[in-house]
Structure 1
Amino acid sequence: MSDLYVSWSEYNRKIEQLAVKVYQSGWDFNQIVCIAKGGLRVGDLLCRLYKKPLAIVAASSYTGPENRVRGEIRFAQHLTMTSEKLGSRVLLVDDLADSGVSLQECVKWLQQYYGQEIEEIRTGVLWCKACSILIPDYYVDYLPDNPWIHQPFERYEDLTLAELAAQHEGLASASEGDRV
């Protein structure tokens, strides 16, 4: 298993490519649900592009050193949304289908708690690994060698606030020097 390093510009381009794939499919959905935390950025950009409401389901399954140990998936008790009810045709998005368990279990969770409102759920991700038990309806890249994906926001997981403050202090000093 190799590692795949993704820059912010590549990450945003992948979200745009996912948006185009869904658009080209012609599917008329009326709700986006993203799985937090990995799918937050994907859901945010898609709801802006499609002008569709966004709902968020918080889920967690990774723990341990560098957040690389897959454990039992846990869901929040409620879906977060600003509309009174969930749409009937749901596009469920996440950043990747690694094991596929998060997507599979989230579909079950949505059907259990919102099944009376949902007619159809389709799934979309940026990356689909070969080891995934669920192949999403939409994905940008299929990864046959199952690499560990290093996403651009991961740096914040190991960065302390003291380190961040020190970085910004150096930036603030440089900015103040520009004004003198």
Structure 2
Amino acid sequence: MPDLHVSWSEYHQKIEQLAARVYQSHWEFNQIICLARGGLRVGDILSRIFDQPLAILATSSYGGSAGKTRGAITFARDLTMTTANLGSHILLVDDLVDSGVSLKRTLTWLDRHYGFYIDEIRTAVLWYKACSVITPDYYVDYLADNPWIHQPFEAYENMNPEDLLKMHSTTLG
């Protein structure tokens, strides 16, 4: 199975396609929660398109060399949000669902910590891999062969401020 390489243009197009799928369902939600880091850009753009408040749940499950080693999921202590209370109909977004374990555990975490606010949660991702133990409610691409996805922002994982200064020193003066 070859890796899947995604450009910025393709990435933004996938987010727009995801928005269209959610809209087409006619489901009314009043809160978006994105999983950071992968779901940050997706959540931000969907929040703008649907004009709904965005809450962020910081999670981590990948590490190791090139961030390709899946480990146990770690959750932040709380959601970050600007509203007094969490909405009752939640669109939970991430960039992809790989094994599905992280998404499944996130649903459990939300129920334990904020369940008294929540009437319904639906999930939305750009890429849904066949190996997932959970099927998202909304997705753009189903990936039967489970490729590694190279997203456009991964280039920043190998950069540091010193390298950027060298690259841009002529324009920064």
- TM-score normalised to the size of structure 1? 0.94
User: Over aligned residue pairs, what C-alpha RMSD do you find?
Assistant: 1.0
Please give the alpha-carbon distance, in whole angstroms, between the structure 1 residues aligned to 2:143 and 2:164.
Answer: 33
**In structure 1, the residue corresponding to 2:102 is in which secondary structure?**
helix
1:61 aligns with 2:58: no
**In structure 2, the residue corresponding to 1:12 is in which secondary structure?**
helix
Matched ranges for 1:73-92 at <5 A: 73-92=73-92
Structure 2 segments unaligned to the other structure (5+ residues):
none
In structure 1, the residue matched to 2:151 is 151
What do the CA deviations read for 1:94-122 (whole angstroms, capped 9, x no partner)? Answer: 00001111211111111111111100000
**In structure 2, the residue corresponding to 1:81 is in which secondary structure?**
coil
Matched ranges for 1:1-180 at <5 A: 1-170=1-170, 172=171
Q: Deviation at 1:167? A: 1.2
Amino acid at match of 1:52: Q
- TM-score normalised to the size of structure 2? 0.97
**In structure 2, the residue corresponding to 1:34 is in which secondary structure?**
strand
Q: Greater Rg, structure 1 or structure 2? A: 1
Please give the alpha-carbon distance, in whole angstroms, between the structure 2 residues aligned to 1:104 and 1:164.
Answer: 38
**In structure 2, the residue corresponding to 1:80 is in which secondary structure?**
coil
Amino acid at match of 1:32: I
Please give the alpha-carbon distance, in whole angstroms, between the structure 2 residues aligned to 1:141 and 1:166.
Answer: 38
Please give the alpha-carbon distance, in whole angstroms, between the structure 1 residues aligned to 2:45 and 2:145.
Answer: 28
**For the Cα contact (< 8 Å) 1:2–1:146, is it kept in 2?**
no
Please give the alpha-carbon distance, in whole angstroms, between the structure 2 residues aligned to 1:71 and 1:115.
Answer: 26
The size of the alignment, in residue pairs, is 173
Q: Deviation at 1:67? A: 0.4
What do the CA deviations read for 1:120-147 (whole angstroms, capped 9, x no partner)? Answer: 0000000000111111000000000100
**For the Cα contact (< 8 Å) 1:97–1:103, is it kept in 2?**
yes
Instruction: After superposing the two structures, state which structure 1 stretch, 159-168 or 24-33, moved more.
Output: 159-168
Moved over 2 A (4+): none
Amino acid at match of 1:153: F
Q: Percent identity, aligned pairs only?
A: 61
What do the CA deviations read for 1:73-105 (whole angstroms, capped 9, x no partner)? Answer: 000000000000000000000000011112111
Please give the alpha-carbon distance, in whole angstroms, between the structure 2 residues aligned to 1:8 and 1:169.
Answer: 25
